[in-house]
Amino acid sequence: MEPDPVATLYEDHREIEEIFPRLEGENWEEALPLLESDLDLHLRREEEVLFPLLERHIGREGGPVGVMLHEHGLLREKFSQVKDSLSRGHRAEAGYVVGEILSLLREHVAKEDHILFPLACQVLEVGEKEEAENRLGKVVELDVRPLLARGEEPFFTIMEATRNLRPEDILLVINHFEPVPLYGVMAQRGFRHRTERGPEGEFRVFFRRSEKSDSSPVGKESASASMVVELDNRGLEPPQPMVRILDALDRLPPGGRVVAINDRRPLFLYPELEERGYRHETEELPDGSFRITVWKGAPR
């Protein structure tokens, strides 16, 4: 398949649009820093990667690239106006400029979505598209519906895809139903999500790394204090017990152990553990449940 140079830029646009309603509400000031940081990153991605490639083919001045750059400048100017008004205590004036930012941004995004991005797909050469995709990331699509139709558990396929993602890539999971439990599992791995419905009513969930959680969701003290992570998985439906164990292992400090109590012997878990280099021991308890201990390193 030919690389898509603008796939992640489209998704940037959708994420930015999700902030708009909050900027139109009473508490717009709270949402403003989020818009500013998301937008700043997005504008730089366009200016540093996409626009220079496009300029080789269509030039800058007097064309769409020149117009887009001019609008980027206007947007940045308006953000400083807002800050200036706020610092002088003129909230209403600042709110007015925020309204201007929103309408300018709506038009700007529409022009890129409908004119500039399709143009990039047309005029860039394959090598340039590859370069753009390498630097901007790609959207890795994973439709789990065929797996479910065959009675397979998609969780491992999703985790496998997650492990293979580069930092700037986006994982798109497509499913019949909304995969709500996955949101938590992915959030613990530092991914945020955006969900939309597709033309057939299917759920399309975009997962991407959130810079904010890069500082590790597991704090230093909790990591060192939790050398033994205990999990009570009784009463949980598969694959939840397995998901919880693998998730705890992913966040386990070196030398740590996971001890889980399950209703059933976790037969599907063992090959996963072995593949990842873990050792494990299972012991049947008097009440018929199982205690599973998992660790890395030498046998106990």
Q: Footprint of Fe ion on this chain (CB under 5 A)?
A: 46, 68, 112
* Cβ proximity to Fe ion, 7 vs 260, nearer residue: 7
Residue 80 C-beta: closest distance to Fe ion, Å = 18
| Residue 159: CA count within 13 A, CB half-sphere | 17
* Cβ proximity to Fe ion, 100 vs 250, nearer residue: 100
- Which pairs with CB-CB distance under 8 Å and at least 24 residues apart come from 98-101? 98/23, 98/28, 98/32, 101/23, 101/35, 101/75
* Cβ proximity to Fe ion, 70 vs 176, nearer residue: 70
Residue 212 C-beta: closest distance to Fe ion, Å = 21
Give the number of other CB atoms < 10 A from CB of residue 118.
12
* Cβ proximity to Fe ion, 153 vs 168, nearer residue: 168
State the DSSP H helix or E strand holding residue 106, giving kind and residue range, or none if neither: helix 91-111
Residue 50 C-beta: closest distance to Fe ion, Å = 9
* Cβ proximity to Fe ion, 68 vs 101, nearer residue: 68
Residue 49 C-beta: closest distance to Fe ion, Å = 12
**SS3 state of residue 295:** strand
Residue 72 C-beta: closest distance to Fe ion, Å = 6
* Cβ proximity to Fe ion, 136 vs 144, nearer residue: 136
Residue 45 C-beta: closest distance to Fe ion, Å = 8
* Cβ proximity to Fe ion, 4 vs 112, nearer residue: 112
* Cβ proximity to Fe ion, 117 vs 290, nearer residue: 117
Residue 119 C-beta: closest distance to Fe ion, Å = 13
Nearest CA-CA partner of 247 in 162, 185, 174, 175: 185
Nearest CA-CA partner of 190 in 278, 251, 253: 251
Structure tokens at 17: 């649009």
Structure tokens at 296: 């890395």
**Rounded Cα–Cα distance for residues 248 and 153 (Å):** 19
CB 289 within 8 A of CB 263: yes
Residue 73 C-beta: closest distance to Fe ion, Å = 11
Whole-Å CA distances, 148 to 178, 183, 236, 266: 13, 18, 20, 20
**SS3 state of residue 195:** strand
Beta strands in 37-190 (DSSP E): 139-143, 170-175
Question: What are the φ and ψ backbone dihedral angles of 272, each rounded to 5 degrees?
Answer: -65, -40
